[in-house]
Structures are given as C-alpha cells and as structure tokens.
A = this chain, B = another copy of it.
Amino acid sequence: MTNKFSFQQILLNQLQIPIELLSKYKQLGLNEKEVMLVLQLLRYLQIRNEFPTPYELSQHVTMDEQECANLLRKLVQKNLLSIEKKENENKQLSEAYSLDPLWEKLFIEEEIEIQEEQTIG
C-alpha cells in the first residue's frame, strides 16, 4: 500500500484566517464553539455556499442543528455576523452570510481603541 497524497491538493485546500480572530476572540466575548462556527461559515463562503443551514454546519461540529441555529442568532445579535439579501440577474432573491461586521470590528475598531489609548495616555 502506498501513501499517496498530492501536495497540490494540500496547497489548494486551505483556509486563511486572520490571526486577530485567534488572538482576540476571547476579548470579543466569544468562546471556542462560536469561533469554530465562524470558521465553518468562512469555509462555506469560500466554496460559494453563502447560506449554509444549521443542519449542514452541525455535520462538522460537535453541536446539533438547534445549538448551531442558536449560536448563529447570537452572532447576529452581537453584530459580528450579518445576513444580506441578494438579487441575481433573474431577479431571484437569496440570502448570504457576511462576516464583514466581525472583520471590521477586528481590523478597524481595534485601531480606534489603540488611537484612543494613545490620546488618553
């Protein structure tokens, strides 16, 4: 039996995550289950599945469908996740998750805090 694998497949099957998410999620009041749900969402967004269901998400985490639905709602309430309405060329409506509220908090607000601290300090 040969151990066959492809470097190319390894290189092409990666997800890029901002270090800030890993180093600051605790400050944002998130726990590991919530961050992992964020990473799963990002994974689906990357393969153009923009509105994975709680059921789909639950297949890859140690949470059931209901817990996933609850956590998604919580992320939306905390303004870390938004749901955007989209209209395609055929006027069909669809919904898409956007993690931009989270990235803006991590990339922009952090900067403001630093500036404020420096001003105060």
Residues of A that sit less than 8 Å from B by CB? 1, 3-8, 10-20, 22-26, 31-33, 35-36, 39-40, 42-43, 45-46, 60-62, 98-100, 103-104, 107-108, 111-112, 115
Residues of B within 8 A of A33 (CB): 32
Closest chain B residue to A33, Cβ basis? B32
| A108 → chain B closest CB, angstroms | 5
Q: Contacts A1-B115, A108-B3 known; A32 to B61 CB distance under 8 Å? A: yes
Q: Contacts A26-B62, A62-B26 known; A100 to B17 CB distance under 8 Å? A: no
Pick 27 A–B contacts, CB within 8 A, sort by A: A4-B115, A6-B100, A7-B10, A7-B103, A7-B107, A10-B11, A10-B18, A11-B16, A11-B17, A11-B18, A11-B42, A11-B103, A12-B42, A13-B18, A14-B17, A15-B16, A15-B19, A15-B22, A16-B16, A17-B39, A23-B60, A24-B60, A25-B60, A26-B62, A32-B33, A32-B36, A32-B61
